[in-house]
Amino acid sequence: MTGGFGDGNFGDEELLAPSIVPGDSELDASLRPKTLADFIGQAKVREQLELVLHAARNRGRTPDHILLSGPPGLGKTSLAMIIAAEMGAAIRITSGPALERAGDLAAML
């Protein structure tokens, strides 16, 4: 018996669409946390970011820099969106594979 869910064989059927399906962006945005309080997990990271953002607000400035790194799926993009929202700043999102030449990042900014 092949093609069953339990045996790990999915046949020729694709599990993930190779392109963005209409409505995916809206669904993705609705599922992301909107504030640091909504961000679940990584308590130490959340506490450090709360401290940095609180200090920046008290100075009336944005933080000098914040570097988020790690493998996919840890919440880097969600945290970046939260930081931008909490500081009232615009954000541009890209991914490493989208940057092909040295000047690509500078061109985005």
Tens-digit pLDDT profile for residues 6-45: 556 655 555 665 566 777 777 777 888 999 999 998 899 9
In a domain, 49, yes or no: yes
- Give the integer Cα–Cα distance in Å for 4 and 11: 8
In a domain, 77, yes or no: yes
**Model pLDDT, residue 14:** 59
pLDDT at residue 51 tops 70: yes
- By the 8 A CB rule, do 5 and 11 touch? no
Question: From its phi and psi, is residue 32 left (phi > 0), alpha (psi between -120 and 50) or beta?
Answer: beta
Range of the domain at 58: 24-90
* Predicted TM-score (pTM) of this structure: 0.68
In a domain, 28, yes or no: yes
C-alpha 45 chain-centroid distance:
14
Q: Work out the average pLDDT over 73-84.
A: 92
Question: What CATH code is carried by the domain that includes residue 50?
Answer: 3.40.50.300
Domain count, the chain: 1
